[in-house]
Amino acid sequence: MSVYSNITIIHKDGTKIQPVSLNIIGEEPLSIRIDGKPYSVVMRTPGDEISHAAGFCLSEGIADTPEDITALACCDGSDSNVVTVTLTEKQRLKISGYLERRSFISQTSCGLCGKELIQDLTTVIDPVCDDTQFQLSSALTCLEAFSRHQPLRQKTRSTHAALIVDADTSVLSAAEDVGRHNAVDKAIGKLFLDHNLFRAKGLVLSSRISYELVQKAARAGIPIILAVSRPTALAVSLASRLDMTVACLAPETGLYIFCGEQRLIG
Q: What is the mean pLDDT of the chain?
A: 87
Give me the amino acid identity at 248: C
pLDDT band at 262 (very low <50, low <70, confident <90, very high): very high
Determine the pLDDT at residue 1: 60
pLDDT digits (tens, 9 = 90+) for 104-150: 434 333 344 566 666 776 667 899 999 999 999 999 999 988 888 88
pLDDT of residue 39 exceeding 60:
yes
- Give percent above pLDDT 70 in the chain: 89
- 101 versus 128: the higher-pLDDT residue is 128
141 and 116 inside one domain: no
pLDDT band at 152 (very low <50, low <70, confident <90, very high): confident
Task: Please check whether residue 5 lies inside any domain of the structure.
Answer: no
Angle of helix 233-241 relative to helix 211-219, nearest 10 degrees, comes to 30
pLDDT digits (tens, 9 = 90+) for 51-77: 999 999 999 899 999 999 999 999 876
pLDDT digits (tens, 9 = 90+) for 162-176: 999 999 999 999 999
86 and 138 inside one domain: no
pLDDT band at 79 (very low <50, low <70, confident <90, very high): low
Domain endpoint, select from 124, 157, 191 = 124
Task: Say if residue 134 is exposed, middle or buried (CB neighbours under 10 Å; 0-12, 13-18, 19+).
Answer: buried
Task: Please check whether residue 100 lies inside any domain of the structure.
Answer: yes
Task: Say if residue 74 is exposed, middle or buried (CB neighbours under 10 Å; 0-12, 13-18, 19+).
Answer: middle
181 and 254 inside one domain: yes
- 246 versus 27: the higher-pLDDT residue is 246
CA distance 87 to 66: 10
Q: Which of 74, 75, 110, 113 is catalytic?
A: 110
120 and 101 inside one domain: yes
Task: Please check whether residue 4 lies inside any domain of the structure.
Answer: no
pLDDT digits (tens, 9 = 90+) for 178-235: 999 999 999 999 999 999 999 999 999 998 899 889 999 999 999 999 999 999 888 8
- Domain of 192, in residue numbers: 134-265
CA distance 87 to 23: 39
Domain endpoint, select from 79, 97, 124 = 124
176 and 256 inside one domain: yes
Task: Please check whether residue 110 lies inside any domain of the structure.
Answer: yes
CA distance 232 to 209: 6
pLDDT of residue 258 exceeding 60:
yes
138 and 112 inside one domain: no
pTM of the shown model: 0.83
Task: Please check whether residue 109 lies inside any domain of the structure.
Answer: yes
Task: Please check whether residue 12 lies inside any domain of the structure.
Answer: no
Determine the pLDDT at residue 110: 36
Annotation says 113 is catalytic: no
- 28 versus 128: the higher-pLDDT residue is 128
Domain endpoint, select from 66, 94, 124 = 124
pLDDT band at 102 (very low <50, low <70, confident <90, very high): low
Task: Please check whether residue 73 lies inside any domain of the structure.
Answer: yes
Segment 84-111 mean pLDDT: 71
Number of helices (H), then strands (E), belonging to the chain: the values are 9, 14
Task: Say if residue 122 is exposed, middle or buried (CB neighbours under 10 Å; 0-12, 13-18, 19+).
Answer: middle
CATH number of the structural domain spanning residue 44: 3.10.20.10
145 and 100 inside one domain: no
CATH number of the structural domain spanning residue 155: 3.40.140.10
> Sign (positive/negative) of CA torsion 242, 91, 212, 4?
positive
Asked if 87 and 62 touch (Cβ cutoff 8 Å), the reply is yes
145 and 256 inside one domain: yes
Task: Please check whether residue 78 lies inside any domain of the structure.
Answer: yes
Number of domains forming the structure of the chain: 2
User: Within 13 Å and on the Cβ side, how many CA atoms surround 234?
Assistant: 18
Determine the pLDDT at residue 118: 66
140 and 224 inside one domain: yes
Determine the pLDDT at residue 112: 45
251 and 142 inside one domain: yes
